Structure 1
Amino acid sequence: MEIWVQNAQEAYDKGIADGSFIDLGTNFNDNVQGMFVPAYVVKGDPGRGIEPMAPDLKSYTDLPNYKDLFRDPEVPNMGRFYGAVPGWEADHIITEKFDTYGLSQYYNVFRPGSGASLASSLVSAYEKGQPWFGYYWGPTWIFGKLDLIQIEEPPYNEELWNNGYGCQFPAVDVNIVVHKDLPEQAPEIVEFLKKYKMKSDIISEALAYMTDEGVEADQAAIWFLREKQDIWTTWVSDEIAEKVKQKL
C-alpha cells in the first residue's frame, strides 16, 4: 500500500506508466532527516536542572564554534558527529556534506555499527542530559519520545544537492499505491485509502507507544483508534465510525 516514491523511483515510474499500479495520493510527505541535537542543548531544561549549553546554535555555520562541546573522546581536539550506518545512502551524503560545509576540519563522522547503536547513543546521552550531535530521521519512535532540534541548512535545492549535498535532505513522498485491479475488486477499500492521510508526528508517537509499552502493531492500532478519533473518523462514514467506537 505505502511506497516511498523517491526511494523506489524506477519501479514506481514503470508501474504507473504501464498501468500496473494506481497512485491514490499522498499518505504523508513531512518526513525529515538531517543533523540534530537534543533540545536541551540549545534551550536547556529547567525541569531537569539543565542549563543551555549552546544557546546560539542554530545553523550549520555555527557548528565550528561548538566542536569542544561535542568533543570526540578518541580525538579530543575534534568534535564528534554520530553519522549514518556504513552502507546507508545517508552515510555517503553526510561525508560529502561535511566536506562541502567545511565541517570536516572540526568534526569526525563516527559511523555506528547499526541503527540500534545510533539510537542507543542518542538515548543514552539524552537520559544523562549530555550533549549529542548526529544524524537522525523521522518518522521514528525517537521523534515520538525525545525532543530534538534540527540544525538549519540551506533549503533543498536540486543544484546544491547535486554538487556536494550543500542543503537540506529533500522530503520523500510517501504515497498510497495499489494494484490496478483493486478498484474493481474492492471499491470500498479504495475509497477508504483515498481518504487515508497521516502525519509524521502521529506515526512517531505511535512508534514510541509501541517501544515504551512493548506491544505489537495490532495493539498499537487499538491504541490509535481509541486515542486519535479526530483523525481516523474522517476516513470513514459516520455509521462505520460509530460501529468502531462501540467495539472499543
Structure 2
Amino acid sequence: MEAPAAAPVAEAAAQACGKVTVANMNWQSAEVLANIDDIILTKGYGCEVELVPGDTMPTLTAMMEKGQPDVAPEAWVNAVREPLDAAVKEGKLHYGALSLTDGGVEGFWVPKYVIDANPEIKTIEDALKHPELFPSSENKGKGAVHNCPSGWNCQLSTDNAFKAWEGEKNGFVLVDTGSAAGLDGSIAKAYERKEGWLGYYWAPTSILGKYEMVKLDAGVPHDKEAWEKCNAVADCDKPVKNDWAKSEVYTVVTDRFQKAGGPAVDYLKTRAWGNDTVNGLLSWMSDNQATGADGAMHFLKTQPEVWSSWVPADVAEKIKAGL
C-alpha cells in the first residue's frame, strides 16, 4: 500500500505550490540562481514555474505595485531599501533568505601572489605606498590603479577613492579600463605574467572564481552620509577615505506566494550560498560559455553537499531523481 499513498501527498504539494513567476535577472549570478530555483521548485515541490525577465529596480517596483513576479531570487536591496522595507511592513512583500551570505562586496583588490610576497600589505593605504609593485604600462615609473568600467556608478566612487587616498601624490595614475571586458582582461593579463595589479573589483564574479584575488581592507568604516554627499558624486572636491558598503542581497517573495506556496516558501527562506561557491560556478559558466540553465544543472549535479542542506531529505531525493 506504500506506493499509492505517496501520490496524493505529491499532488497536495503541487496544489499547495501551484503557479509561480520567478524573476530571471540580467546578470550571471542572478540568472543561474533563478534557474536553480526553477529546477528545485519544479522537481522538488511540484511547482509550475515561469521564469520572467527582470532587473533590480523594475522587478522590485512591479512586485511592490502589482504583486508580480512572485519571487526575486537575488535582489540587491541597498538602492531600494526604504520602499522595500515599507512594502514588507505593509505585508505586501516578505524577505526570504539572505541569498548571498557574504553579501555583494566592492573595493580595491590585488592578486593573492602579491600579498604572499608582501604580507605587510593589508590595506589600501599599504598598497599605495608601493607604486613599484603595481607598475603602469603607459606611465613608466608610476603605479597603476585600475578604474571601474566607464559609465558605471563605481567609476565615480573609484575616482574619489583615488583622490581620498592621494593616489597621485603616492606616484600612481588612475587607469580607465573602458569596459567590464577591459577590466577583466587587465586582471587576466597580470595573472598570466605574474605582474602586480591593483584596482576596483566586486564579488561575486566569474573572474574571482578563476583568479585568486584579495580584497584590501579600507582601514575605515563605511560612512553613508559622506558617501552620498561626496564619494559617489562626480567632481567632488574633497572626498574622504570611505569603505564601500556591503550590499545586502535577499530573496524577496510576494504575499500571494508566501500564503500559497506551502513548503516551497520554506526553501526560499533557507536557500543561501557564499561568494566562493558562486565565484567558482560563474567561472565554470564563463569557461564553458554556459547559460543560466546549464550552470544550474552543473551545480545541482556536482555540488549536492551545498544544495541538499536547503531542502528536506525526501525533497533532495526527488530533485536528484529528476536531474
Q: TM-score, normalised by structure 1?
A: 0.86
Cα displacement (A) at 1:11 = 4.3
Cα displacement (A) at 1:8 = 2.8
Count of residues in Structure 1 that have an aligned counterpart in Structure 2: 239
Q: Is the 8 A contact 2:205 2:278 kept in 1?
A: yes
How many angstroms apart in 2 are the aligned matches of 1:135 and 1:187? 43
Q: CA RMSD in A?
A: 2.2
The C-alpha deviation readout for 1:21-80, integer Å capped at 9, x for no partner, is 21124112413211111111232xxxxxxxx3x453222222343213322233224211
Aligned partner of 1:178 in structure 2 is 253
Unaligned runs of 5+ in 1: 44-51
For residue 214 of structure 1, the aligned residue among 274, 278, 289 is 289
Aligned partner of 1:48 in structure 2 is none
User: Does 1:144 pair with 2:209?
Assistant: yes
Cα displacement (A) at 1:166 = 1.5
The C-alpha deviation readout for 1:130-159, integer Å capped at 9, x for no partner, is 221111110000111111122222242427
Aligned partner of 2:68 in structure 1 is none
For residue 28 of structure 1, the aligned residue among 100, 116, 132 is 100
For residue 195 of structure 2, the aligned residue among 121, 130, 133 is 130
Aligned partner of 1:101 in structure 2 is 165
Aligned partner of 2:111 in structure 1 is 38
One-letter code aligned to 2:80: A
Q: Is the 8 A contact 1:82 1:133 kept in 2?
A: yes
Matches within 5 A, 1:145-164: 145-158=210-223, 161-162=226-227, 164=239
How many angstroms apart in 1 are the aligned matches of 2:125 and 2:201? 19
- Where 1:195 maps in the other structure, the secondary structure is coil
Q: TM-score, normalised by structure 2?
A: 0.68
User: Does 1:7 pair with 2:7?
Assistant: no
For residue 300 of structure 2, the aligned residue among 222, 225, 234 is 225
How many angstroms apart in 1 are the aligned matches of 2:165 and 2:320? 52
Q: Which shifted more, 56-65 or 87-96?
A: 56-65
User: Does 1:234 pair with 2:312?
Assistant: no
User: Does 1:114 pair with 2:187?
Assistant: no
Aligned partner of 2:3 in structure 1 is none
Unaligned runs of 5+ in 2: 1-71, 231-238
Q: Is the 8 A contact 2:146 2:200 kept in 1?
A: yes
Cα displacement (A) at 1:9 = 2.7
Aligned partner of 1:62 in structure 2 is 126
